[in-house]
Structure 1
Amino acid sequence: MQLVAAEIARQEGKSGVHVLDTGTEALITRAWLVEQAQESIEVQYFIWSTDNIGILAAETLLRAAERGVKVRVIVDDLLINAPDKSLLALAHHPNIDIRIYNPKNSVGVTLARRAFNALTDFRGINQRMHDKTFIVDGKIAVAGGRNMAAEYYDYNHEFNFRDRDVLLLGSAVKTMQASFERFWESPLSARVEDLYNGLGLMQKNVSADSDEVQAIYRELGAYAQAPENFAPEVRQAITAAPAAFAEIARQIVWSRVEFISDMPGKNANTFSLDGGGLSTSALAEMAAQAQTRITIQSPYLVLSNEAIELFRGILARGVTVRINTNSLASTDNIQAFSGYRNQRKKLLKMGFEIFEYKPYPQVQQALMNRFEATKNKQLVFGLHAKTMVVDGARVYVGTYNFDPRSQNLNTEAGVIIHDESVARKVEAAIEVDMAPGNSWNAASDDPDRHVPLAKRSKVRLWQNLPIKPLL
């Protein structure tokens, strides 16, 4: 970390960036950063699963806390699935603080309370924290699309995401940390301990005495050390992290980088489902400045009326707009795909070039054949990367999906990198994903024919429901 601090000082005012395009790189980077942390670790995630990757991440943070590092964690409430006592035990550690964003669905919430929230605060339960940030010692960080689960790091043996993160050093990290502090201090972020001390039907009452806490710590450590609980490739990647990170660090580019993020709560609307946000405004401005081409990669593509009008003007100026998104065969969200399917013909007629990702793309061979358990095995791949490249000169990498939910409801975060070498490298990677071996051309290939009739019928049902603002 001393070398990192020295390089940051030498590059005053700039930010160091390296795009993490593979799951292994992204995992190695996070593992190395946790091991090197000396003072603090601050992490923010939408999903934290209790699969092997999620447990390994929790155990490494616990070990960091044991050696005196202050650990702060914010996790969105919607999809967290940690056992109550385990979550509470981690929060009881003197060096670990955990807060849950907008706890209306899961943590400490009884079924009665969940039903009450759905009836009385529909907008509120749909406002989620979609940010993914990882900050170490206030100096070095990771931002991007990956959550904390095996499928985001190419280690799931059935389904994996094609995703993208950015390693950051320098001034952009300060902006990221300021955003984290806003979420940490927000009334929407509740202490785990406060969510389990309720009485009656509306809040759970869960406790863990000191013996239970220590037992959970021991179980977590034992699980993380048992070879049978982790694929050899996972442990090998973690073991090789120091040498591998040195190679990653050599590829860092110093340039102007903006970290953009929404405020907690997104916008001031109370009842309606629109309202926009800071991320929406920044990305709309970035797109509007395009002179020649825009290249987008987004797992979900459901354009609002405002977005359609924005791109209508951009296309009218002769700007080429290419989009790589999921096909019906690769998507993990059939509801979101129904919104895209409703407007696909319109978008193509407007002039968008759309390429839909194949569930068994050629690129997966390079990513998965290195693992003995998945060698020569067909695994479903889906897009999860959220990226926009403008004129091959500026690139956004973050959490923002091109849909109404990211526009109006979910808080989002990401970076805009003003560097041609980085932008062109990312654009080239997206072009590989758009190539015929990895994607179908939506204008000519009829991608929906590659899925069973039952799935097409199911998505057709969703198409008829008035759910666009929630997609």
Structure 2
Amino acid sequence: MAWTSLRHLAWLGLVALAACTHSDLRPDYPRTPSTVLPVQADAPLVAYAARMTAEHGTDSGVRLISDSGDALLARIALADRAKHSLDIQYYMFHSDATGELLAQRLLAAADRGVRVRLLLDDLHVAGNDDVLRALDGHRNIEIRLFNPFLERNASLWGMGKQFAGDFSRLNRRMHNKAYIADGAMAIVGGRNIGDEYFDANDNVNFRDLDVLVVGPVVAEVGQAFDRYWNSPQSFPIGAFHRHQPAPEELQELRKSMAAHARTFSQGSYAQNLVARVGDLARETPAKEWAWGQASYLADDPEKGDPVANNQDLHMAPAIRAWLDGATQRLTLISPYFVPGKRGVDYLQGMRERGVAVEVLTNSLASTDAGNVYVAYAAYRPPLLKAGVKLYELKPDARRGRGGSHFFGSSSGSNSLHAKAFVVDEQHAFVGSMNLDPRSFDINTEDGVIVHSAALAKALLSIFADATKPEHSYHVLLDANGGVYWEGKQANGEMIRYDHSPETSWWRRFKVNVGGLLPIEGLL
């Protein structure tokens, strides 16, 4: 997830000379409660899930999705195969090539009679309502916005003023990602909807992880979705517009989507997808599924509310209790890693108990959040002194022969976006939660814990590949306590760096100046 927009808005909000006046979020607008539809046996996805789970009792099945193309295809497949319902929750849903492709499939599903509920955080929607309003005009599609802005067509400066006037509320964002089809299968993980999450961006692509799940845990995902959907924080998009969209607007949107689809289909990315679409017609091989007891965790929608907020609304204590069980090895993958003093003390305690601790995060060259990197940098020395192994992803990491699909095939720069934790090579978490103050205390998050050695092994394989010296820099301490980096060049030569690799002095200067701001708690 890119924090750039939120940081800019927070900054504008703090310096705005005239804050907008707060007003009520139209609580009188009709909001009909709804819930996940009952699972119906006539749905192909339900029948498939039933066959998959028949011999696994109360265990859930999990398929790790590390390949970005597979991540898009999985979402398309669920939209195309759904018969009764699609319940979708995202922090970002871009109106770019892949976003429009998926929106087109959701519209096609609605045309078949599928009920589509789309819940989006409003941070990246405000000012771009037209497409969503047109979709919302379909009788089978309902769109709600979480924690919305009041002024819908505001400039960045205008949104900053709204932040200043209502900062404690608007600073809280819904970072969850969930995609549920027919109550039978769900996708949970770190990916938003947009080109950079599906290896379709020519400039930069996020390296991320999702899991496709079947079995009892799917019902837990649906129950959490309903809590958010029916929350006082979620408003129908129509609540902010006096007039409902005309039928012609949806027809124009169909034409626009069709034109974009024709253009998109002519590109090499689409051609590669088409070559793999045949796989959607076949059931996933059993060997690609891991099985085990699984729990879905999600923050309460009220998390971060200064009035209602308490630790009972947070999933972080449950995550910590699970991590506390580590006795041998703790593996952490987090693109934004700001442990704070409490986190450093916690990991030092792990090391004192003999637990091997290893962390993969972004380098300054690969991160999209320089302020986060600077905050993390302050905690490197004590972590390294405690024996925690730190690795920072290179922006030019590429998939090699025999390597994992994690790095994709794009020629663009790479940035880490996956959030995954592995305990003792036996238990794993995949979700939306970063190891930083914003995820712990401000935003809502979600994810799934699976007690499966097979899933843990798959994640550790990705970690091992990602932390090879050709893919990541190993961060170390010299004899004087100074930080340095080691990595392998394209010619195979190992090289040492005494400052953040692959960065200019100007880049380092800018982020260091930004790091002087007292905003660590917002990162």
Does TM, scored on the shorter chain, surpass 0.5?
Answer: yes
In 1, are the aligned partners of 2:64 and 2:211 still within 8 Å (CA)? yes
1:288 lines up with 2:333 in the alignment:
no
Residue 449 (structure 2) aligns with: 416
Q: Which amino acid aligns with 2:247?
A: S
Q: Secondary structure at the match of 1:240?
A: helix
Identify the match of residue 258 of structure 1 among 273, 286, 295: 295
| 2:339 match | 303
Structure 1: runs of 5 or more not aligned: 198-205
SS at the partner of 1:325?
A: strand
- Whether 1:45 aligns to 2:82 is no
| 1:370 Cα offset (Å) | 8.4
- Choose from 364, 370, 375 the match for 1:328: 364
Looking at secondary structure, tell me which structure has more helix per residue: 1
Aligned residues: 456
- d(CA) in 2 for partners of 1:122, 1:370: 38
Q: CA deviation at 1:308?
A: 2.5
Aligned pairs for 1:5-154 within 5 A: 5-80=50-125, 83-104=128-149, 107=152, 114-115=159-160, 117-154=162-199
Distance 1:240 1:61 in 2: 20
Is contact 2:344–2:382 with CA below 8 Å preserved after alignment? no
SS of structure 2 residue aligned to 1:442: strand
1:312-356: CA deviation from partner (whole Å, max 9, x where unpaired): 221211111100000000001112112112222222223221001
Counterpart for residue 502 of structure 2: 450
Q: Residue 436 of structure 1 corresponds to which residue in structure 2?
A: 469
Within 5 A, what are the aligned runs for 1:137-216?
137-197=182-242, 208-216=245-253
Q: 1:392 aligns with which of 425, 442, 455?
A: 425
* Higher mean displacement: 438-447 or 187-196: 438-447
The structural deviation recorded for 1:185 is 0.1
Tell me the C-alpha RMSD between the 2 structures.
Answer: 2.5
The percentage of aligned residue pairs carrying the same residue is 32
CA distance in 2, matches of 1:230, 1:195: 38
Distance in 1, matches of 2:193 and 2:150, equals 19
Relative to 1, partners in 2 of residues 1:228 and 1:6: Cα closer, same or farther, differing over 3 Å? closer
Distance across 1 between alignment mates of 2:68 and 2:204: 13
In 2, Cα distance between the equivalents of 1:340 and 1:112?
A: 29
Q: Match of 2:168, SS? A: helix
Q: How far apart, CA to CA, are the structure 1 residues paired with 2:408 and 2:377?
A: 35
Residue type at the aligned position of 2:188: A
Cα deviation, 1:168-208, whole Å, max 9, x if unaligned, reads: 001000000000000000011110111223xxxxxxxx653
Within 1, Cα distance between the matches of 2:393 and 2:192? 20
1:466 Cα deviation from its structure 2 partner: 0.3
1: CA distance between counterparts of 2:389 and 2:350?
13
List gaps (5 residues or longer) in structure 2: 1-43, 477-483, 486-497
Equivalent pair of 2:302/2:313 in contact (CA under 8 Å): no
> Quick check: 1:49–1:81 contact (8 Å CA) kept in 2?
no
In structure 2, give the amino acid aligned to 1:254. W
Give the direction of change, closer, same or farther, for the CA distance of 1:361–1:369 in structure 2 (3 Å limit): closer
Amino acid at match of 2:502: H
How far apart, in 1, do the equivalents of 2:281 and 2:356 lie? 37
Partners of 2:432 and 2:325 in 1: how far apart? 21
**1:123 Cα offset (Å):** 2.0
Inter-CA distance 72–271: structure 2 relative to 1 (3 Å threshold)? closer
**Using the alignment, how far apart are the partners of 2:52 and 2:264 within structure 1?**
40
User: In the alignment, is the contact (CA less than 8 A) between 1:288 and 1:310 conserved in 2?
Assistant: no
1:277–1:408 contact (8 Å) kept in structure 2: no
More displaced stretch, 381-390 vs 302-311: 302-311
Distance in structure 2 (CA, Å) of the matches to 1:235 and 1:106:
41
- Distance (whole Å) between structure 2 residues aligned to residue 141 and residue 106 of structure 1: 33
Distance in 2 of aligned mates of 1:125 and 1:229: 38
